[in-house]
Amino acid sequence: MTQTATQATQAARSSGATTSMPIAKALNESLRKALENDPKVLIMGEDVGRLGGVFRITDGLYKDFGEDRVIDTPLAESGIVGTAVGLALRGYRPVVEIQFDGFVFPAYDQIVTQLAKMHARALGKVRMPVVVRIPYGGGIGAVEHHSESPEALFAHVAGLKVVSPSNANDAYWMLQQAIECDDPVIFFEPKRRYWDKGEVAVDAVPTGLHQAVVAQPGTDLTLVAYGPMVKVCLEAAAAAANEGRSLEVVDLRSLSPIDFDTVQASVEKTGRLVVVHEAPVFYGAGAEIAARITERSFYHLEAPVLRVGGFHSPYPPARLEEEYLPGLDRVLDAVDRSLAF
């Protein structure tokens, strides 16, 4: 059943008070809660202990839970994930931090050939409750290898679950749900949104980890996004409303699996779909969404499904990244093209 963000917020508030905090703090509180609730939860990564992480997501956890549960590792991503696989085999629930998106590739072999395959290899007798946290995306003026969006590479791999929150409440709850999951979860955190504040309902019943939500209801066209691009799409919907256009924004939240039912219900109401992500359009998640919705809802579409995303090129130097990143103008241009049909 489709759930709007407004309905989710109302349900959360009816279950208890909310607290305003940035996404970074929500992630920190979520990790703290997980460590308190389950002694088998461990945090591992480069500088996650004494320093508290380069983005301070693990700040204070080393002091409160000790070096046996918040573990500073060597600069060896393959070794970090490989160790997490072994710990999961021994009954632990490791939460691994990859310091920046571009640093994950040395660990890619461990993730796709061991972490993703172990459950099937053992004929279901082995579980891999491992979370790999990856700050991803651009917009922070960083150097090379610090602004990638590799989510499609992981969503393509059977055996992995891939999710990305767009707001503080989802960051708080989705990370706890990922840690509680018995399957490996790649948890992509939109790093340029770390300091965006939002209301967090710490006593609420959360939305399902892999359920999309309607962040903004509308009637003329559907915008589908996840992670850092949800904010841009909400801004686009507000700008379009000034011109008398009603855009519906669907926050996908999960990339593997994808809640196609919520997307389909929205598209069959509006008749138009634009998919937006920061990653390159070429072979991006938007291609799969466009294909599936075209198959499912062909006779409801009033226009071709359009995609907005990054260019098929290496991520540029910081001084050029605003030209690379999809922004309000590029989203509204796609909206104009779709509504012109």
Q: Which two tokens stand for residue 255?
A: 């990339």
All residues at 6 or more sequence positions from 323 whose CB lies less than 8 Å from its CB, including other chains: 316
Alpha carbon distance 256, 12 (integer Å): 25
For the CA atoms of 233, 239, 245, 247, what is the dihedral angle to 10 degrees?
Answer: 20
Is 312 a catalytic site residue? Answer: no
For residue 39, with 0-12 CB atoms within 10 Å meaning exposed, 13-18 middle and 19 or more buried, which class applies? exposed
Phi, psi of 64 (to 5 degrees): -85, -25
Distances (CA, A) of 117 to 108, 120, 160, 208, 286: 13, 6, 9, 24, 26
Alpha carbon distance 173, 254 (integer Å): 13
Alpha carbon distance 20, 25 (integer Å): 10
Q: Which letter, b or e, does each residue of 202-239 get, where b requires 16 or more Cβ atoms within 10 Å of its Cβ?
A: bebebbebbbbbbbbbbebbbbbbbbbbbbbbbebbeb
Alpha carbon distance 39, 232 (integer Å): 39
Alpha carbon distance 336, 236 (integer Å): 11
All residues at 6 or more sequence positions from 192 whose CB lies less than 8 Å from its CB, including other chains: 137, 138, 139, 140, 228
Strand partners, 135: 189
Residue with tokens 């085999």: 89
Single out the catalytic residue among 119, 146, 156, 210. 146
Active site residue ranges = 146
